[in-house]
Amino acid sequence: MKQTMDVSSADFEYLRQLVHKHSGIVLSADKTYLAELHLQPIVESAGFSSIADLITYLRNQPFNNLHVQTIEALVTTETSFFRDGYPFEALKQYVLPELVKQRKIERSLNIWCAACSNGQEPYSIAILIQEHFPVLVNWSLRLIASDFSTKVLARARQGNYNQLEINRGLPKNIRDKYFKRLDNNWQINQEIRQMIDFRQFNLVETWPYLPKFDVIFLRNVLIYFDIVTKKALLKKVKQQLRPDGYLFLGSGETTINLDESFKLVTFDKHICYQLHNP
């Protein structure tokens, strides 16, 4: 008889603390369904009979790969190509044209997607650059994409997406130009994959060396953190952003009341942020 996959409130509270300690992400107390949905594959592959048995093991063992798998399974990684539209229009119409003018002497541009998930966001930026900014081909262009999860980074590096993922936000002409059919999936062209430097690190821990960035995408990340973590993260972001660089947040996110170093910049229907002049 199959064991129930229901998660007790005590077990879910343990999972919430585990996720927060190692990723900084705050899971709402009403999100037990996340565990019930996403932990079953781990339960089955590791040979446990129930989620409760898995959690009992996690509670009583030193931090190991099963803890990592559990955390990664509970951290939301939902995304899509050209998500929300407006940030990419702002990048195409205003931000990149301005930066191309400002950097015409040094001919260098650094862009960071700070929570890239399965890779749709950095690939969207890379495609946008290929389509509209051929001048950057001869520049020193660095497009860095990072994530906490090694699992999603492995997928991102492959650039392999199913039909549902391809249908979300990706115009057919772009699909046909930059992707090739691979069995039942679509794989992005190697030329685009090679544009992106995928790196694994945790935003709430000590960061590795990073260059100063002209554009930082930190979209739909702050919503998962508590206020203390948000402030600490924005402080570190501020140190990585060039004085005239641009910070893109999610539509439901803001720096207001978190870090007064940033000012709002409005482009048509999208808002982004820059540092106040020193």
Give the pLDDT confidence of 18-47 residue by residue, as tens digits.
888 877 777 777 778 778 877 888 888 888
Task: Report whether 81 contacts 69 (CB < 8 A).
Answer: no
The reported pTM is 0.84
Domains of the chain by start residue, with CATH: 9-74 (1.10.155.10), 86-161+188-275 (3.40.50.150)
The total of other beta-carbon atoms located within 10 Å of residue 31's CB is: 16
Task: Report which of 241, 251, 225 is spatially closest to residue 275, judged by C-alpha positions.
Answer: 241
Give the pLDDT confidence of 129-158 residue by residue, as tens digits.
999 999 998 899 999 999 988 888 999 999
**According to the model, what pLDDT value does residue 146 have?**
94
Give the pLDDT confidence of 118-132 residue by residue, as tens digits.
999 999 999 999 999
Question: Band of the pLDDT at 175, cuts 50, 70, 90?
Answer: very high
Task: Report which of 179, 246, 183 is spatially closest to residue 219, judged by C-alpha positions.
Answer: 246
Most confident of 24-28, 106-110, 265-269: 106-110
Half-sphere exposure (Cβ direction) of 33: Cα atoms closer than 13 Å: 2
Task: Report whether 216 contacts 245 (CB < 8 A).
Answer: yes
